[in-house]
Amino acid sequence: MASDIQTNISGRTAPHPDGALGDVVLRTEGLTKHYGGVHALVDCNFEIRKGEHVAIMGDNGAGKSTFVRQITAVEQRTSGKVWFDGRYVEFDGPLAAREAGIETVFQTLALADHLDVPDNLFLGREKLLVKLGPFSILDYKGMRDATLRGLEKTGVKIPNIRNTIQNMSGGQRQCVAIARTATFHSKLTIMDEPTAALGVQETAQVENIIRTLKQQGEPLILISHNMRQVMDLCDRIVVWRRGRICANLRKEETDGQDVVAYITGAKTQPEYASAA
């Protein structure tokens, strides 16, 4: 049952370092995921506020993507609690998380190659003109117009939205996946390595979109191994190691070398040391 967000959550947390709850969009308490005997995520307490861009960093297998799969209900958590948009939530699947306002751009992009841009953006939530029993007539004009607004909001440039995804470059595909978040007025965007397979120019285009989201006050979680990108685009860095959070850093109070020390285990913030 949904309930108002609680402010007296105990334990090691990764809140904004200012300490105030402010306008919390997402908060987790003790989030844990076990795969049999493998503890992939352990006691993770995390929060992000409206307008904030937070980077999640760590080695492969540190728990970053596992964390995202729990909060988006791609998998069901072993234990722990999640609050989203001021409510305690237990999503029964990724569609419920998406309908609540969490839009995720996974590394696989989850696009249908044989469909065009509007069809991809509205895949699974198509606009209908008429529904007659098992038969429906799509409101393609409405989907096209909403697609154009979403592209404009993010600054995405797609020469022809009727073009199928399979005929687009990697950068254009990534931009379509990102534009999907703007089209449906997401309350939180999560991007998992959004530029990992892109060239220099395409990476710059995606990063400009992220800056546009920042200017519009859209909160974002960015999973990235790109230190330059993280320091340029994010306000705060939360580091995972061996399934646990080991550091929560303001960007202006750290540097790349310091972050690497936390990632490799050379350093752990005192408040997380007992669990490391």
Has residue 214 got a pLDDT over 70? Answer: yes
Position 153 pLDDT exceeds 70: yes
> What's the pLDDT band for 131 if we cut at 50, 70, 90?
confident
Report the percentage of the chain scoring pLDDT > 90.
53
Q: What is the DSSP letter of 230?
A: H
Residues contacting residue 98 through CB under 8 Å, at least 6 positions apart = 72, 104, 184
Q: Is the pLDDT of residue 21 over 70?
A: no
d(CA 1, CA 80): 15
**How does residue 109 score in pLDDT terms, banded at 50, 70 and 90?**
low
pLDDT at 12: 38
Q: Is a pLDDT exceeding 80 seen at residue 5?
A: no
- Between 121-125, 130-134, 197-201, 272-276, the lowest mean confidence (pLDDT) is in 272-276
Residue 111 burial by CB count (10 A; 0-12/13-18/19+): exposed, middle or buried?
buried
Model confidence at 276: pLDDT above 70: no
The pLDDT tens digits of the residues spanning 23-59 come to 899 999 999 999 998 999 999 999 999 999 999 999 9
Cα–Cα distance, 110 to 232 (Å, whole number) = 27
CA 240 distance to own-chain centroid: 16
Position 10 confidence tier, pLDDT thresholds 50, 70, 90: very low
Q: Name the average pLDDT for the chain.
A: 86
Q: What does the pLDDT read at residue 237?
A: 97
The pLDDT assigned to 25 comes to 95
Torsions phi, psi for 56 (to 5 deg): -110, 125
At residue 77 the predicted structure's pLDDT band, cuts being 50, 70 and 90, is very high
Query: Is the per-residue pLDDT at 11 higher than 80?
Result: no
**What's the mean pLDDT in 199-210?**
86
- Can you point out the beta strands (E) in the chain? 24-35, 38-49, 53-57, 79-84, 87-89, 102-105, 128-132, 135-138, 188-192, 220-223, 236-241, 244-250
